[in-house]
Structure 1
Amino acid sequence: MADVIGYEEGRPETTQHITSGYPRFVVHSHAKQLCALLGRRAELAGRSLWLVTSAKMAAELATHLNTDTAAQAAPFQVDSLHGVAHTDTPALNSRGKVFLQHLGGFLSSRAAEEELVRLGELPAIAEEKLFAGDATAEIKRVLHEAYSTASAADILLAPSGMNALYASFRAINALQAPRGRTIWLQIGWLYLDSIALLKKFTADPTRDYIRLGDVTDFAAIEKVFAEKGARIAGLIVEAPTNPLIQTPDILTLSALARQHGARLILDPAISSPFNVDLLPHADVVAQSLTKYTAHEGDVIAGAAVVNSAQPDAAELTRLITEHLEPVHDRDLARLAAQIGGAPRIISKINANTLRVAEFLQSHPAIDKVWWALQPATRDNYLKVARTPGSVGAMISFTLKGELAKFYDRVNLPKGPSFGMSTTLISPFIYLAHYDLVTTEAGRAELAAHGLSPDLLRLSVGVESSEDIIRSLSEALT
């Protein structure tokens, strides 16, 4: 836990040991090395540099930074690389990083590696298993198993789940704003960058961003639609939510949105589309392919899947495609090399999660457990689950004892991702919402949404369930 806090507070004794990390939070060492090389050029010297996915993303980032007139941000292109240079200050550096984090705009580490090899800064590209054929076709072929009603043209690939969500959000805004619809609803507590997207990119966040914290309070949702239905552009709903793994009544919510002309984005990341069938109820399913499909934990990617049976489907597909960033070829080839194993991996994860959840729910040292089949939203989950045992990897829980003591002792891999073949555990609220954990007002906001700062998020992998339970049991004694 000392390292978690050291990372969040940027303490050198912690950060000096971090050479890599989750790609939208820790800038890859290859990208840093490239920026250092580019910084030797006279026109870029002394400036902060960001390498991004495309010229379009560079233009968006420069515009965002230049709302601060001191930024003097400008896009640049060197050979095939696109980026932005701006005034070097901590505040602007943070602003640029957070923007790219929210939108999924960072240059692929594989693209950076290839450029470093071309420049002679690295001896060779690291060996890895890549798909030899048409990687895009292979990815869509496997995803079609989860999205059986979607054609290949309905499945749009992105460099991250956040970029898929951002493009879907932008596309729906473009359709709905001319109709006088600018309001967005958040149902339940969402992943931090999804919340940030709504807070920062709605037309007028004080007017157009409405958050409804209780996924089971359908009366409150109906009341908002009754009062503002003609002005609601869309909803973003995780099914289940992250990290409380709560599922709204998706079927009823979808019917309400359609009745009022609102567009519904559903996100199946927590369980995966191989476990929950959401497309029939959505206008767009925006998902991370980093989770479950890239189960070896070495690719970041995403997808937006359009429900072709819904109004505006053709125009949504066109607009989402316009806003999506390109996916690097070798990222596609690496994802395609492992995605075929996803259904088998997910089946094993599901079986393990059922056993681990049973263990945690019955252990006297555990205070509370949240998972797909938690009593409060179990029936809602089963309405969209492919089978009663399709529960996904995620279990969140709190302890009756001290968080740090348990976390330091538990002999499991520790990290912020999920949906990997490897089990991972993290003190999720510390990692995702440290700003809220460390203030009285922030802790009150968390409590109002049923979130404890000491919540642990466990992503169950494919190891022996007995070994996972043994590691948890030893740390709980």
Structure 2
Amino acid sequence: MSLTVPLGHPLPPRDPHIGEYARFFIHDTISSLSRTIIAKFGQEGEQAMLFPSAQTASHCLAFLREQSPSAPLRIMEIIPDIPVDADILPWAAIWAVVFPDKARGLAMKVWQHAGEGISSRRAEWCKEVFARCGFKVCRERGGIPPSISAVGQLHGAPLDLTAAAEAKQILRGRISRVLSSGIKPGDKAGVVQPSDVYLYPSGMSAIFNVHQALLAARGEDKRSICFGFTYLDTLKLLTTFGPGCLFLGHNHTALSLLEAALHQKSTAASEQPFLALFCEVPGNPLLHTPDLERIRELADQWGFAVVVDETVGGFLNVDVLPWADVVCTSLTKGFSGRANVMGGSAVINPKSRYHALLTHTLSATYQDTLFPTDALALSHNSLTFPTRNLCTNTAAEILYDFLRAHPAVKKIYYPKHNTETLPFYEKCRRKSGGYGYLMTIVFWDERDAVVFFDRLEVAKGPSLGTNFTLASAYTLLAHFGELEWAAEYGVVEHMVRISVGLEGVDKLLEVFSKALRAVEENIACGRVGE
């Protein structure tokens, strides 16, 4: 039995909605709606990118204007052509940022790095609303009076806003309870409340909005710090939107370089030279864990905020709250598992010195753009998260021990294996937590990596934390245009990143053994065909 998916088919198979992949390209349903809007209201040579709110669309427009000042740009608010219920109208409206064809590459940076575009579920629903009701450009905001819903019976059922609101509260409750589970008894001030949890349409949207809130609250001229080699979009986001960042990508020297940079910037702690430090626990794809305790000490001394993305570790495995001002998570990954919905969360630590400031800033700027049916899907999928997390922890650790024993394997990046940073991971690992589902394999010979990857009968794709095992030629996917640069930080070209799923240990060992046998056979034949 093969665990692969035929080339060209989306993941997950037989599901019209996809998760992580939707940030790397435009979903067919979204593209179709965009073309329909341009066909009616656009001009030849124009394209549109679709957003869920005026605010998210304005982020895109501002970036495009900054990067391409002479380009003709505009925002159109697209709404149903007949009156709809006031509660439904915000979800039935679409904001289209219209730009010339030549600006598509710039617009895609916003789509990928900021993660704020509409979801496929929203596009599907709005497309049917517009087909039934017609659509027009809204030229007078607030000019549509409340009425009996004209769109409530699509698919034979209304858009259940009550159920969606309950689902979002459930999501906030689940997240806040887990993050509070490490709080010492009697420490009521440290308990995370559901109101401290902000939901976003993707993990990158959560990071983007936290970064924007920090800039608004603490000064738009302050650079951030990208600590360690993080997921590509985090670094791209910090360098693309705002005043830039200090990138400390060499994990083994990042801390000493940070300390040197802080002292070089200023001898007075009160000057607070940096906005915030962004890091991951553990990092993707090298699975290193930063020394959060020392980072916290430096943050308290120099006044910068600490934002920790614990998506790869997962908040059932690690507890980073004691050292973080903000904890960000991509709910698209292990939390959901099914890879058919996107979502993200940002949690403001109630004991953070910036809790009141960030809460005040977000209360003025936060918009709930998580589409109702996406929230329902996340709530449903995450019911089994604890069980799935335990299964993938166990399977990944066994698979790691199996793979590292093979003579063709040079190194495996895995929290348990990274002896340099293992003490830092152990410091934040929960008593019931494991080492996660992600690992990255490096072979002694890059030709063996090619054979292994080609013969490994699992799904191939860029996401992680899915219920099915995924293999990724990570560096080629994430850093194809900057391979030499990535290699300087240890992210070499022929890495194979594995996200372990729920197929079971026996099946996984069978599949990985077969791929390793192919490597052995090719070595025995003198690596023919290379």
Instruction: Tell me if TM exceeds 0.5.
Output: yes
Q: Give the CA deviation at 1:213.
A: 1.8
Q: Give the CA deviation at 1:63.
A: 2.2
Match of 2:225 in 1: 185
Matches within 5 A, 1:191-230: 191-203=231-243, 205=244, 208-215=245-252, 217-228=254-265, 230=272
- Equivalent-residue separation in structure 2 for 1:126 and 1:435 (angstroms): 48
- Equivalent-residue separation in structure 2 for 1:115 and 1:103 (angstroms): 22
Q: Which of the residues 165, 168, 175 maps onto 1:136? A: 168
What per-residue deviation string (whole Å, max 9, x for no partner) do you get for residues 89-137 of structure 1? 2xx111101112111121111011012222448x97599xx99571011
Cα distance change, pair 473–250 in 1 and its aligned pair in 2 (3 A) = same
Matches within 5 A, 1:287-298: 287-298=329-340
Match of 1:249 in 2: 291
Identity %: 27
Cα distance change, pair 40–396 in 1 and its aligned pair in 2 (3 A) = same
Matched, 1:368 2:411: yes
Matched, 1:378 2:422: yes
Match of 1:12 in 2: none
Cα distance change, pair 29–212 in 1 and its aligned pair in 2 (3 A) = closer
Kept in 1: contact 2:227–2:254 (CA 8 A): no
Q: Which of the residues 81, 97, 116 maps onto 2:94? A: 81
- Equivalent-residue separation in structure 2 for 1:187 and 1:272 (angstroms): 19
Q: Which of the residues 111, 119, 128 maps onto 2:122? A: 111
What per-residue deviation string (whole Å, max 9, x for no partner) do you get for residues 355-395 of structure 1? 01111111112111001112121111000011375111101
Between 136-145 and 278-287, the greater mean CA deviation after superposition: 136-145
Match of 1:14 in 2: none
Q: Give the CA deviation at 1:285.
A: 0.7
CA root-mean-square deviation: 2.5
Kept in 1: contact 2:327–2:347 (CA 8 A): yes
Q: How many aligned residue pairs are there?
A: 447
Kept in 2: contact 1:28–1:109 (CA 8 A): yes
Match of 1:328 in 2: 371
- Equivalent-residue separation in structure 2 for 1:210 and 1:126 (angstroms): 52
Match of 1:48 in 2: 47
Match of 2:385 in 1: 342
Kept in 1: contact 2:273–2:302 (CA 8 A): no
Amino acid of the structure 2 residue aligned with 1:199: T
Cα distance change, pair 349–221 in 1 and its aligned pair in 2 (3 A) = same
Matched, 1:174 2:216: yes
- Equivalent-residue separation in structure 1 for 2:234 and 2:368 (angstroms): 17
Cα distance change, pair 42–221 in 1 and its aligned pair in 2 (3 A) = closer
Between 63-72 and 162-171, the greater mean CA deviation after superposition: 63-72
Amino acid of the structure 2 residue aligned with 1:268: E
SS at match of 1:359: helix
Between 451-460 and 226-235, the greater mean CA deviation after superposition: 226-235
- Equivalent-residue separation in structure 1 for 2:156 and 2:45 (angstroms): 31
What per-residue deviation string (whole Å, max 9, x for no partner) do you get for residues 128-149 of structure 1? xx99571011111221232112
Amino acid of the structure 1 residue aligned with 2:515: A
Between 212-221 and 322-331, the greater mean CA deviation after superposition: 212-221
Q: Give the CA deviation at 1:315.
A: 1.9
Amino acid of the structure 1 residue aligned with 2:356: A
SS at match of 1:417: coil
Kept in 2: contact 1:291–1:418 (CA 8 A): yes
Match of 2:472 in 1: 426
Amino acid of the structure 1 residue aligned with 2:210: S
SS at match of 2:379: helix
Q: Which of the residues 489, 494, 501 maps onto 1:454? A: 494
Kept in 2: contact 1:427–1:455 (CA 8 A): yes
Amino acid of the structure 2 residue aligned with 1:236: F
Q: Which of the residues 450, 455, 463 maps onto 1:417? A: 463
Kept in 1: contact 2:248–2:254 (CA 8 A): no
Amino acid of the structure 2 residue aligned with 1:108: S
SS at match of 1:98: helix
Match of 1:391 in 2: 435
Match of 1:354 in 2: 397
What per-residue deviation string (whole Å, max 9, x for no partner) do you get for residues 163-207 of structure 1? 1101111111222227xx71321211111110111212242x3xx
SS at match of 1:78: strand
- Equivalent-residue separation in structure 1 for 2:211 and 2:76 (angstroms): 27
Kept in 2: contact 1:73–1:84 (CA 8 A): yes
Q: Which of the residues 313, 316, 332 maps onto 1:274? A: 316
- Equivalent-residue separation in structure 1 for 2:486 and 2:504 (angstroms): 34
What per-residue deviation string (whole Å, max 9, x for no partner) do you get for residues 426-462 of structure 1? 101111111013xxxxx1x223211111111100112
Kept in 2: contact 1:236–1:264 (CA 8 A): yes
Kept in 1: contact 2:249–2:489 (CA 8 A): no
- Equivalent-residue separation in structure 1 for 2:321 and 2:62 (angstroms): 34
SS at match of 2:311: coil
SS at match of 2:285: coil
Q: Give the CA deviation at 1:219.
A: 2.7
- Equivalent-residue separation in structure 2 for 1:171 and 1:261 (angstroms): 16
Structure 2: gaps (5+ residues) = 1-6, 9-15, 80-92, 133-152, 181-190, 267-271, 518-530
- Equivalent-residue separation in structure 1 for 2:433 and 2:128 (angstroms): 46
Cα distance change, pair 169–352 in 1 and its aligned pair in 2 (3 A) = same
- Equivalent-residue separation in structure 2 for 1:185 and 1:463 (angstroms): 39
Cα distance change, pair 60–273 in 1 and its aligned pair in 2 (3 A) = same
What per-residue deviation string (whole Å, max 9, x for no partner) do you get for residues 245-295 of structure 1? 000111121121112111100010111111110112111011111011111
- Equivalent-residue separation in structure 2 for 1:215 and 1:268 (angstroms): 19
Q: Give the CA deviation at 1:32.
A: 1.0
Kept in 1: contact 2:329–2:344 (CA 8 A): yes
Match of 2:528 in 1: none
Kept in 2: contact 1:105–1:325 (CA 8 A): no
- Equivalent-residue separation in structure 1 for 2:420 and 2:209 (angstroms): 32
Between 374-383 and 310-319, the greater mean CA deviation after superposition: 310-319
Cα distance change, pair 324–224 in 1 and its aligned pair in 2 (3 A) = farther
Cα distance change, pair 72–355 in 1 and its aligned pair in 2 (3 A) = same
Between 274-283 and 380-389, the greater mean CA deviation after superposition: 380-389
- Equivalent-residue separation in structure 1 for 2:487 and 2:69 (angstroms): 38
Match of 1:22 in 2: 21
Q: Give the CA deviation at 1:209.
A: 2.7
SS at match of 1:66: helix
Kept in 2: contact 1:239–1:267 (CA 8 A): yes
Structure 1: gaps (5+ residues) = 1-5, 8-17, 438-442
Kept in 2: contact 1:215–1:247 (CA 8 A): no
Q: Give the CA deviation at 1:324.
A: 5.5
SS at match of 2:126: helix
Q: Give the CA deviation at 1:70.
A: 3.7
